[in-house]
Chain A
């Protein structure tokens, strides 16, 4: 188990990480999700021992390892850039951590062959990395991390420099590889869809803070606050200001609807309502769905789905809806929203009335 206790990282006057506490169990996949400069890489460097936190401690199975150098920690790391030994063959690259550890020839060969099969590198074992495609190079780096059999494997946006389709394939393979070993995996990404495809647990980061940590799908469905919800939404989360009084919510433009279930109990006052782009629909999905009139500002059609950009009461929204939808820009259309799929945030951005707010 890897435990971070109150980790803070200060560089000059800038705070890169502030008061981060996390417990990562063996055999789990943990995603660090956040935009560029949110602190993902800083946190990974501290986990690896490449940097020392300004304050706070790191414990592995209860032992404080805060000042221990990376060589002495049981860590493997894969970076966004493909890093391999350019003069060695793929085989030797994958074998290198075991050679350093002084393993015998036969167990090295077995481990390399297994990792190569897993990463589909068997035909390329005799080549040098520079004669491989980007995807093959990164798979070599991944295979090396697997062979090292470290207790902690850190992957810092490992697929960011790869082609879209290749990314999709590797992303599908990685959780399976993760599941087979008993190590702790930490995977940093900027993309919500990547976190969802990988599953496991997710910690969302924003400006050097962990805003929420839990099962990936739980964090996605029940974000604890507005920042987490925004970080974990692609296309961006739709939001609009609303007001509660007399057991009903009212939006700008004269729309109002009764507050149901747990939302009924929250205090009167001003709130922000948020919902996922795919929860807006063109037809009444529930009998009590709220009808809204919004103006189309742009259309993006992928063939299977349409992203309809809308403007409602001064807020920019995106509706993700199946099929090809053709509207003229400027046209006002009626869209529907199931009130049970709403997320409601108070003035401080905290989610309220969540108990039954989000049905899966």
Chain B
């Protein structure tokens, strides 16, 4: 809605603009600059045109890492969104249970990424970890350092443990805003539990779910710290995601040019997919209004 015009408002935005310029726009421009040049160190740069982009798009290493990212985000969304909704639906709506549940749910969110990684790294170790020992004791052949499936399972479980709460809290906020009259009307209409979910709760949660899906997608697609701490990208390259590959390339091998090209492509993919999610979910169910 149009508001009263007041030029002073710009001064309030200015600090943010400066901050964004330094933290995002200038680094981004630097990356763009790197992506079209080659260097052998000593601060000597040569014009490389679009070669690095061409190379990246034709490298199997890039496509494999991208596939792993997509698979990981897909698994994460497929588990966390339904699980988050399920937990939110079963949380108490009033009484003393509400603050208890909210605090419990918020706890994992308060732990920093690398700490979560370290916790699970130790937790899952076959020699000293509680989980590793317990599974071994049960006769399960579990070893995240050597077995790709175990490595994946560990990272997925860890992310679910860490981030499902976010989905729960968002969904819960959507659920408590539904007036009682809707539930009462549904009871009078003889609606089943499923119908109540499908026709009342889900439509009313649509907005918060959109936010949850976007946040969880972007975050999981850019996953770095946890696999870096737990598996270091291994075994082999089995858990080497784009972000890990990027760091290896840029800092480990000092291939600044290809790394810059790859990160720009990475950035574009995140933007594109986020836009697709946003459009699909906001347009859902609004086709024939009026």
Q: Are A and B direct contacts in the complex by CB distance below 8 Å?
A: yes
A binding-site residues for B, Cβ under 8 Å: 11, 49-52, 54, 67-70
Q: What residue of chain B has the Cβ atom nearest to residue A53's Cβ?
A: B2
Q: What residue of chain B has the Cβ atom nearest to residue A49's Cβ?
A: B4
Across the interface, do A51 and B3 meet the contact criterion of CB distance under 8 Å? yes
Across the interface, do B1 and A70 meet the contact criterion of CB distance under 8 Å? no
**21 cross-chain CB contacts under 8 A:** A11-B1, A11-B2, A49-B4, A50-B3, A50-B4, A51-B1, A51-B2, A51-B3, A51-B4, A52-B2, A52-B3, A52-B4, A52-B5, A54-B2, A67-B4, A67-B5, A67-B6, A68-B4, A69-B4, A69-B6, A70-B4
Chain A residues with CB under 8 Å of B2's CB are 11, 51-52, 54
Chain B residues with CB under 8 Å of A67's CB are 4-6
B binding-site residues for A, Cβ under 8 Å: 1-6
A67 to B9, CA, bound (A): 14
A68 to B3, CA, bound (A): 11
A54 to B2, CA, bound (A): 9
Q: Shortest CB–CB separation between residue B207 and chain A, in angstroms?
A: 21
Chain A residues with CB under 8 Å of B5's CB are 52, 67
Residue of B1, B4, B6 most packed against chain A (CB within 10 A): B4
A250 to B217, CA, bound (A): 74
Kindly list 8 other residue pairs between chains A and B, CB separation below 8 angstroms, not including A51-B2, A51-B4, A52-B3. Answer: A50-B3, A51-B1, A52-B5, A54-B2, A67-B4, A67-B5, A69-B4, A69-B6
Chain B residues with CB under 8 Å of A70's CB are 4
A69 to B8, CA, bound (A): 11
Q: Shortest CB–CB separation between residue B10 and chain A, in angstroms?
A: 15
A67 to B7, CA, bound (A): 11
Q: Shortest CB–CB separation between residue B5 and chain A, in angstroms?
A: 5
A88 to B4, CA, bound (A): 29
A321 to B3, CA, bound (A): 50
Chain B residues with CB under 8 Å of A49's CB are 4
Q: Shortest CB–CB separation between residue B41 and chain A, in angstroms?
A: 57
A85 to B1, CA, bound (A): 25
A51 to B1, CA, bound (A): 8
A51 to B3, CA, bound (A): 5
Chain A residues with CB under 8 Å of B1's CB are 11, 51
A213 to B2, CA, bound (A): 28
Chain B residues with CB under 8 Å of A69's CB are 4, 6
A69 to B6, CA, bound (A): 8
Q: What residue of chain B has the Cβ atom nearest to residue A45's Cβ?
A: B1
Chain A residues with CB under 8 Å of B3's CB are 50-52
The 4 closest A-B pairs by CB, nearest first: A69-B4, A67-B5, A52-B4, A52-B2
A50 to B3, CA, bound (A): 6
Chain B residues with CB under 8 Å of A50's CB are 3-4
A68 to B5, CA, bound (A): 8
A67 to B4, CA, bound (A): 6
A68 to B8, CA, bound (A): 12
Q: Shortest CB–CB separation between residue A330 and chain B, in angstroms?
A: 34
A51 to B5, CA, bound (A): 9
Residue of A11, A50, A69, A70 most packed against chain B (CB within 10 A): A69
A11 to B1, CA, bound (A): 8
A69 to B5, CA, bound (A): 8
Chain B residues with CB under 8 Å of A68's CB are 4
A49 to B4, CA, bound (A): 7
Chain B residues with CB under 8 Å of A54's CB are 2
A11 to B3, CA, bound (A): 12
A52 to B5, CA, bound (A): 8
A53 to B4, CA, bound (A): 9
Q: Shortest CB–CB separation between residue A174 and chain B, in angstroms?
A: 29
Chain B residues with CB under 8 Å of A11's CB are 1-2
Q: What residue of chain A has the Cβ atom nearest to residue B8's Cβ?
A: A69
Q: Shortest CB–CB separation between residue A262 and chain B, in angstroms?
A: 46
Q: Shortest CB–CB separation between residue B20 and chain A, in angstroms?
A: 26
Q: What residue of chain A has the Cβ atom nearest to residue B9's Cβ?
A: A69
Q: What residue of chain B has the Cβ atom nearest to residue A66's Cβ?
A: B4
A268 to B6, CA, bound (A): 58
